[in-house]
Structure 1
């Protein structure tokens, strides 16, 4: 019995490898796959036939001949199914419907004023149902759902703490699983953002990167050797609570001088409220003023850029990353504070450490987390193409 079980496991693994090879290198032939992964042609042909029968792979006609019969080329069927990614933020939630290659089909933003778990779960459910209507024709429909949360998420997908939402020990996955099935993934929003930028954005060619989500707070997702680094308890990346000023402002965590009290979007808005006393400008108004050359706005943005550079220099010295990607809402102001930020990194980091480190802004804009969240159920589905999927009404 064990031998049979092992054979089934090996076949499933090989099938997943063949599918991944087609996704990464398409279009290619059966012979190309055999040569690339070391499986014999008969085994590859059998597995490809199964993938065609399951409509995950399609044949597109003959390729170039190398002397014999022209080979039949294969493509991954990116519209065999779809996934939904949700980014829970402190003012709204952003949800995207994507195909199996992460291309956005639809998206929806929903304002949030009531952050109780019950209301957020209700809004997520409504948004998922809305995006799931009138799907393009596909054999698998919605293959799964991923959600990024601005807080600590443990190994069981329980939201241990999300201070900006007022959440403690919330079983978000349990509240949604009854309706939306088992291929449901909950993770910290910065981790999801890091995955999104690694797969689809600025980090596609990088194996070691840090994604910084800079909004109300500062969080990070850390990619090491192409994989997400999670730490012992799944809580890695809380760089916003790195102390950068011993007697600095009081942070919501109870400490003083945390990096996010000096360099986040909230820090920017708090300072702006002290400068423009007749009104409280939002980020967009500060950006508009800076682009018009307003000195107060530019000075404020340069100050935030310098404070960002202080923390980034620490990360460069400690982790020596290949790439740092700055995302979330503060990245919208990147062109206005970039020079001050880079100059501070240069002044405060070790020259050998920063020599090969590049700093960039998120290529996915404010979609990084939603797209990264959507990729999680896609990865799970494609690792096990035989997984059953619940249809959404």
Structure 2
């Protein structure tokens, strides 16, 4: 029995390697795969046949001949199934439906006036059902769901605490899995954002990066050696609560002078409320004023950029990352923050540390978390040797 089990495990691993090779290097032939991964041609041919039968790989016609018969080229079928990614934010939730390569097919923003778990869960259910009704033809339908939450999420997918939503000990997984299946992934939104930018955005070439999600608060996802660093309790990345001003403003965490009290979107809006006491400007309006040359708006964004640079210099000194990617809402003002931010990093970080550390704004804009969340069920789905088995109890089955 052990020999059989080992053979099944080896076959599963080899099939995953073959599929990953096709995904990363497509289009390519069976001979190309054999040469790339070192498996013999007969084994590769057998595994490719199974992947074709599973609708994950398609043949797309002949390639160039190297002297003999023209080889048949293979292509990953990104439309074999779809995934849903959801970013729960403080004022709304952003949902995307993507194919198996992360291309967005549908997108929806749902305003949230009621932040109770029951209401948010109902909005998530409605959104998934709406996506399902407009789903393109595919063998597997919706293969899974990923959700990013602005708070602490433990290794059992429970939301331990999300202060900006006033959530404590909320079990989203149990509430949704019975209807939408077990391929359901719930994570901190900055972790999901880091994965999104690593897979699809600014961090594709970086093995060591920090993704900063800067909205009402500041959180981070940290990738080391190409893998997400989670910390002992799955709670790594709360950089918004490092102290940058000993006697600074009181933070919601109870501390004073946390970075997010000085450099977040909320910090910017609180300062704007004092500068424009007769109006309530939002981030987009402040950006518009600054781009029009309004002195108070220009100065305000310069101040926020400098305060942002203080925390970034600390991260450069402590972690010496290859790349820091700034995402979420504050990235919308990236061009207006950049000069003051980079000056501050230059002045406050160690020269040897910053020499190979870059700073960029998210390529995916405000979609980083939603796309990273969607990638989690895709990864799980494609890791199964038989996708048909992975679909038992899947989201599509319950819709």
TM range (shorter): over 0.9
Do structure 1's residue 128 and structure 2's residue 128 form an aligned pair? yes
Q: Deviations over 1:12-71 (max 9, x none)?
A: 111011000000000001011111111111100000000000110000111111111111
CA distance in 2, matches of 1:264, 1:115: 21
Shift of 1:388: 2.6
Secondary structure of 1:272's counterpart equals helix
Q: Which residue of 1 aligns with 2:326?
A: 326
Q: Which residue of 2 aligns with 1:16?
A: 16
Q: Which residue of 2 aligns with 1:338?
A: 338
CA distance in 2, matches of 1:124, 1:316: 37
Shift of 1:133: 1.1
**If the length of structure 2 is used for normalisation, what is the TM-score?**
0.98
Q: Deviations over 1:277-320 (max 9, x none)?
A: 11111101100100000110011000000000000000000111
Secondary structure of 1:164's counterpart equals helix
Shift of 1:136: 1.1
Q: Which residue of 2 aligns with 1:41?
A: 41
Q: Which residue of 2 aligns with 1:232?
A: 232
Q: Which residue of 2 aligns with 1:388?
A: 390
Q: Which residue of 1 aligns with 2:290?
A: 290
Q: Which residue of 1 aligns with 2:276?
A: 276
CA distance in 1, matches of 2:278, 2:167: 34
CA distance in 2, matches of 1:119, 1:6: 47
**Structure 1 residue runs of 4+, over 3 Å off?**
none
Q: Deviations over 1:130-155 (max 9, x none)?
A: 11113111100000000000000000
Q: Which residue of 1 aligns with 2:313?
A: 313
Secondary structure of 1:98's counterpart equals strand
Secondary structure of 1:123's counterpart equals helix
Q: Which residue of 2 aligns with 1:54?
A: 54
Q: Which residue of 2 aligns with 1:64?
A: 64
Gap runs ≥5 in structure 2 = none
CA distance in 1, matches of 2:252, 2:228: 27
CA distance in 2, matches of 1:284, 1:230: 33
Q: Deviations over 1:360-390 (max 9, x none)?
A: 0000010000000000000000011424322
Secondary structure of 1:337's counterpart equals helix
Q: Which residue of 1 aligns with 2:223?
A: 223
Count of residue pairs the alignment pairs up: 393
Q: Deviations over 1:307-350 (max 9, x none)?
A: 00000000000111111100000000010110000000000000
Gap runs ≥5 in structure 1 = none
CA distance in 2, matches of 1:55, 1:165: 41
| Conservation of the 8 A alpha-carbon contact between 2:92 and 2:109 | yes
**If the length of structure 1 is used for normalisation, what is the TM-score?**
0.99
Q: Deviations over 1:220-279 (max 9, x none)?
A: 001111111101110000000000000000000000000000000000000000000111
CA distance in 2, matches of 1:209, 1:115: 32
Secondary structure of 2:39's counterpart equals coil
CA distance in 2, matches of 1:234, 1:30: 41
